[in-house]
Amino acid sequence: MGTPFNGEFGTTPGSLSGLRVVEVGTSIAAPFATQTLGDLGAEVIKVERVGTGDDTRAWAPPSWGEESIAFLAYNRNKRSVALDYKTEEGKDVLRKLLASADVLVQNLRPGAFAKAGFTAEVLEEINPGLIVCELSGFGPTGPRAQQPAYDPLLQAFSGIVSITGQDGGEPSRVPVSLLDMGTGMWTVIAVYEALRRRDRTGKGSWVQLSLLQTALTWMNAVLMGAEVGNPPPKRLGSGYRGAVPYGAFPTSDGHIFISCGNDRLYRTFLAAIGAEDLADREGFATNPDRLRNRELVNATIGERTVAFTLDEMVELLEEAGVPHSPVQTADRVVKDEQVKAIRMFTPLPHPRAQDLTVPNLPMTFDGDYPELRLAPPDLGADTADVLSGLGYSADELAALADGDVIGLAD
């Protein structure tokens, strides 16, 4: 057992130090996976298009200075190689790079990497120990396998959008990259599993993941209910199917999220806000009663909570021991004392994004966060260094650059 947390956060190198990961991807799913592997110590080489690079470099605003926040958010602890691997010279470069690698993570459209000459058989020949992680939208087979897929599309397809938003209102997506980042997380888990398998067999694995599989995993209980004939769930906004009151309620200057998971907490909550008269009102007394009368109960409680300010509600419920949270906007979250206390955000010096801070990987080991070594790289910043390590001379690099096979940083 390690040392328990003592109130002082530090950083520590990850256990994947010495592992070389090559990313041939764009947007969020593959970059988030490889960023996480980089946070855990791996050397990550990001292969990007010559001239334009990862799509997220152009997803701005929002920006930090002149840099796309979308790119900054998913590409730290990496080195950038700008390479046109569709040319014969570029193919040769990528072959040598993959021969030196332990893991390849790619999220191109299904079949695109094979069409460029990197089939499963070719990759096996290049490097029998290579762990190949192929990320897609709908999965590798089936009638939709070749369709373009983005996080919101898969939220809609998988049923997530159908249960999000207010009942009677328009369907809503979860406005974060839930499936992209989730698939990135599963990719990291898969890499660890594949490494253990390689330790036993000496061979790599072909790992396939998809946004659809991630979505179906997040929806597992809802879909299991559908399998046995339960009707599709209603959209409940911030509510919860198993308890009332449970969700966001209005205050005079915001909203408070209240979680009364049993009748004792419900009565404690009513006492805290001076609404004891609702405790035994018909249709309000027990949780089954309140579930049957959800709309009336929620509306009635909202009429009581709106008489308080948000800060007053927080103070009352804190003192009473009722589970709650203010509904905070992002600007309040980054200034929150609890967020500061766990030091989730840390400075990461960048040549142009002045005072850049990024979120740590959400875990500590013996009180230390994984080490953040490298700021998100300029396009092609490491092309010369990485290719020199593969045996390319300065003259060969210059010739490749002149032919637009590679891109070199200014």
In this predicted model, what pLDDT tens digit does every residue of 139-160 receive, in sequence order?
Answer: 999 999 998 889 999 999 999 9
What is the 3-class SS of 143-192, one letter each residue?
Answer: CCCCCCCCHHHHHHHCCCHHHCCECCCCCCCCCCCHHHHHHHHHHHHHHH
Final residue of a structural domain among 328, 361, 390: 328
Other beta carbons less than 10 A from residue 35's beta carbon: 25
In a domain, 113, yes or no: yes
CATH number at residue 251: 3.30.1540.10
Across the range 53-58, mean pLDDT stands at 97
Is a pLDDT exceeding 90 seen at residue 168?
Answer: no
Among this protein's residues, is 167 annotated catalytic? no
Final residue of a structural domain among 302, 328, 354: 328
On whether both 179 and 50 belong to a single domain, the answer is yes
Across the chain, mean pLDDT equals: 94
Is a pLDDT exceeding 90 seen at residue 323?
Answer: yes
Q: Which one from 54, 84, 102, 180 is the annotated catalytic residue?
A: 180
- Tell me the CB-side half-sphere exposure of residue 57, using CA atoms within 13 A: 16
CA–CA separation, 295 and 291 (whole Å): 9
On whether both 369 and 401 belong to a single domain, the answer is yes
pTM: 0.93
Per-residue pLDDT band at 36 (split at 50, 70, 90): very high
On whether both 136 and 251 belong to a single domain, the answer is no
In a domain, 58, yes or no: yes
In a domain, 235, yes or no: no
Among the listed residues 303, 150, 145, the one whose alpha carbon sits nearest the alpha carbon of residue 215: 150
Across the range 255-278, mean pLDDT stands at 97
In a domain, 320, yes or no: yes
Total number of domains in the chain: 2
Contacts of 190 (CB under 8 A, 6+ apart): 133, 207, 209
Across the range 126-148, mean pLDDT stands at 95
In a domain, 290, yes or no: yes
Domain range holding 68? 10-220+346-407
In a domain, 114, yes or no: yes
| Cβ atoms of residues 390 and 93 within 8 Å | yes
Alpha-carbon distance values, 53 to 49, 91, 116, 119, 379 (Å): 4, 17, 18, 23, 6
Place of tokens 């991630």: 214
On whether both 123 and 30 belong to a single domain, the answer is yes
On whether both 20 and 145 belong to a single domain, the answer is yes
CATH number at residue 209: 3.40.50.10540
In a domain, 340, yes or no: no
CA–CA separation, 302 and 308 (whole Å): 10
In a domain, 374, yes or no: yes
